[in-house]
Structure 1
């Protein structure tokens, strides 16, 4: 007996989740769907899924867990399409950067007894500098020694949240819990803001009269500072995330503008001591964050070893879970070729 997991969206995150879950093939059966059939076929080729489904509604009919790893601008329409086909007791997990909005869509579009839990993977530190979000960068250890932020609407079944936490363990991540607004706030200044700052840098320089020559001078510093916009969401998805996460993001943008104006004022007024202090504060702070991020990974690995369920116990911990949520017995399934 295995849990049926459908992954919608087979880019780096979705395919990596499939690869990690593939190490527990006696526990889960993986169905994959992607709007680009070539990507779905590639996911099957690298064994990120057991089977692919080209029909979106059909892909979720038998799912115990539906995992959305899609660009945000595709999430609402996808939810609307699959809502009639998601069975009672199913848990819907979502990695998009606007959890409050997605939770509201699920409540609006789905019948009762379908349970939404927002997740946000904090990746293995080995891959912190990797900006490529395509399936070519998928790897089974993407989540190892990392954490999984988990948030759910008020009143969500504790068993649905527990399932998300246990599934995080199968991926190699340690869960931590927050509420939807907190997750959106953290996402705004750690995920969305860097992409908008990269956008501002690029738009401020690409159209300058001297860019033809400047492009030859631009090196590693420019590449690093502009890289956040390079490999993440499609522009339409980033736009949707910025607008849906407006309140939190505007607060972060205001703080960033204040910091930039502070640097500008110190430069204009020849405040060398103050300017150097700000630069050093940033340099030291970045180094501390980098070291702490790797230290947290080590602690997460210890927690994973000590407290998280073993892979072989995962299904045992879910026995009765879906029957309690849906009021029916979980069907027996044979693994498909």
Structure 2
């Protein structure tokens, strides 16, 4: 019998996961839920989920895996709504960027016998320039050749970790095992800092003297530099994630402030060579990162040797795989 995966939240991440899983209907069946009934209907029409259920508790009753692809400020409340309807053995996965606090909520709210695993999905290199976050920007290959950070509480059974790693594999991505603290530190630099810098640039320009004229000529560079601060739930989610990750964020902001101050000193001192060197270093760093990110060669380098088993076994073990012949050695 196919495993039921209930996806709560049918924006770009949740719907893309569903579209990727649609190629494996012999192994999984997907049920979608979104607070917007219209989004549910469109997601089903587009093939992101096979079925929808607008009753949140009912949508998870038969689920083997529940994916919370929702903003962080909705996670705690959602866990409370579904906790009593989860059957024993269900694995609850969330895709929020910051994990330590969410893990505490899961430990506090989820019943015994229900497991929590945190995932932080990265967009595949082919879609780095896209800024959409809704259902209309979902793609079956959105995660192809990317990495998902995977973290779980100490003592989580190995078959649960294998289950979630296999799920990630079906999206075309690779799961990178980490812990909550390391994951949050990585996302402080990769996600939260760019968003705060983007917000700071906006605050440093809009409403300031001359903005009435500046706004008329602000173009590609300004748009690109402020694009990290977008999304319907951006302010609420970003505020919560930063406050949940204060120590990391203070360190990252200190490093950012230092970089700006050093740049300012070069300009103030008319240090042409110093300024040029800093800008060249930044340009080289970005080009090197884009080259490495596009190649995604680190995925093979980081992969540890694993037992040669079938994809169905790698996905969900005994849920999917046929019994081996007892004579097989």
Q: Give the TM-score of the pair, scaled to structure 2.
A: 0.92
What does residue 112 of structure 1 align with? 112
Question: Relative contact order (alpha carbons < 8 A, sep ≥ 6): 1 or 2 greater?
Answer: 1
Q: Deviations over 1:102-129 (max 9, x none)?
A: 1110100111111111111122101011
* Residue 260 of structure 1: how far off its partner (Å): 0.8
* Residue 175 of structure 1: how far off its partner (Å): 1.5
What does residue 139 of structure 1 align with? 139
Q: Deviations over 1:177-200 (max 9, x none)?
A: 111100011011101111111100
Matches of 2:238 and 2:24, distance apart in 1: 34
What does residue 268 of structure 2 align with? 268
Q: Give the TM-score of the pair, scaled to structure 1.
A: 0.90
* Residue 302 of structure 1: how far off its partner (Å): 12
What does residue 248 of structure 1 align with? 248
What does residue 167 of structure 1 align with? 167
Structure 1: give runs of 5+ residues left out of the alignment: 322-337
| Secondary structure in 2 matching 1:30 | strand
Matches of 2:309 and 2:21, distance apart in 1: 14
| Secondary structure in 2 matching 1:228 | coil
Is residue 100–residue 181 contact of structure 2 (8 Å, CA) maintained in 1?
yes
What does residue range 4-15 of structure 1 map to in structure 2 within 5 Å?
A: 4-15=4-15
What does residue range 16-55 of structure 1 map to in structure 2 within 5 Å?
A: 16-55=16-55
Hey, which bits of structure 1, 4+ residues long, moved more than 6 A? 306-309
* Residue 14 of structure 1: how far off its partner (Å): 0.2
| Secondary structure in 2 matching 1:108 | helix
| Secondary structure in 1 matching 2:228 | helix
Cα RMSD for the two superposed structures: 2.3
Structure 2: give runs of 5+ residues left out of the alignment: 322-329
Is residue 165–residue 315 contact of structure 2 (8 Å, CA) maintained in 1?
no
The answer to whether the aligner puts 1:204 opposite 2:196 as a matched pair is no
| Secondary structure in 2 matching 1:18 | helix
Q: Deviations over 1:102-157 (max 9, x none)?
A: 11101001111111111111221010111111110000000111122111111111
What does residue range 212-231 of structure 1 map to in structure 2 within 5 Å?
A: 212-231=212-231
* Residue 316 of structure 1: how far off its partner (Å): 6.6
* Residue 231 of structure 1: how far off its partner (Å): 3.8
